[in-house]
Amino acid sequence: MKRAVKVGIPTKYNGTQFRSRLEARWAAFFDLLEWEWEYEPFDLAGYIPDFVLCFKQPLLVEVKPAIQPDELGDAFDKIWNSGWNKEAIVVGAKLFSDDWSQGLQMGQLLGGFALSTWGDVHDSENTHGARTNGSDAAALFGCGQCKRASFCHVLNSYQCRASGCWDGDHQLSGGPDFDWLSLWREAGNQVQWRGVDARPLLRGRPGPASNDPKLGYPEVSSFFGNLADMLDD
């Protein structure tokens, strides 16, 4: 049985035109977490990555309209075959429950695996950033060293991806307690209406009327007013 084709709605957020509202939502989520990002930053072999997170080790991000974690695997091959030789993460249409750590998963983190057996190395901080063909769930956590929002492998490399912090053998817990689901919902609020430029909302100010021709979309209130007029005719 073929999967239904999911068509994205082009969405403008923070001055950037995204191919889908889901991509724009991830950009808003990254902003709320204070992660610097670049959208479609370069071309790889047969593949244009959706984002690169500008961490200590640049990390590629691929966005898929996936509801279940097992749907993320469709993107693995094109990333492996693209020539990208650092870590990458594939994310979906939601944050996923993490039964192992009782937390939340951001997606599937590819690469950075130990080059020898897990028992020999314990975890793979010493190989973080290396191209190795494997994937593991990415657990969200507040880093106890840099105090930033971050993520790491659930079972393999516990290194803080946001800042590169590590201690060699376990997750750097004890950091801020982030309300990940509330932040994810807020990111959705930022891009809910295509006709509103979401950038000022991140700064606690109302958004400007979006009939500015540079934004490319009619003002939301005008849209619904025109729709009501058409229904009355």
Report pLDDT for 169.
61
Burial of 131 (0-12, 13-18, 19+ CB in 10 A): middle
Q: Are 92 and 65 in contact (CB under 8 A)?
A: yes
The whole-model pTM stands at 0.74
Q: Where are the domains of the chain?
A: 11-185, 193-232
Report pLDDT for 19.
94
Angle at 119 between CA 117 and CA 120, to 5 degrees: 70
Report pLDDT for 168.
66
Q: Mean pLDDT of successive 10-residue segments in the chain (233 residues)?
A: 64 95 97 97 94 94 93 88 91 85 84 44 44 75 93 84 80 85 96 58 38 36 38 42
Alpha helices in 15-69 (DSSP H): 21-32
Neighbours of 6 (CB within 10 A): 11
49/28 Cα distance (integer angstroms): 17
Nearest CA among 67, 15, 28, 17 for reference residue 191: 28
Report pLDDT for 150.
94
Report pLDDT for 100.
58
179/217 Cα distance (integer angstroms): 32
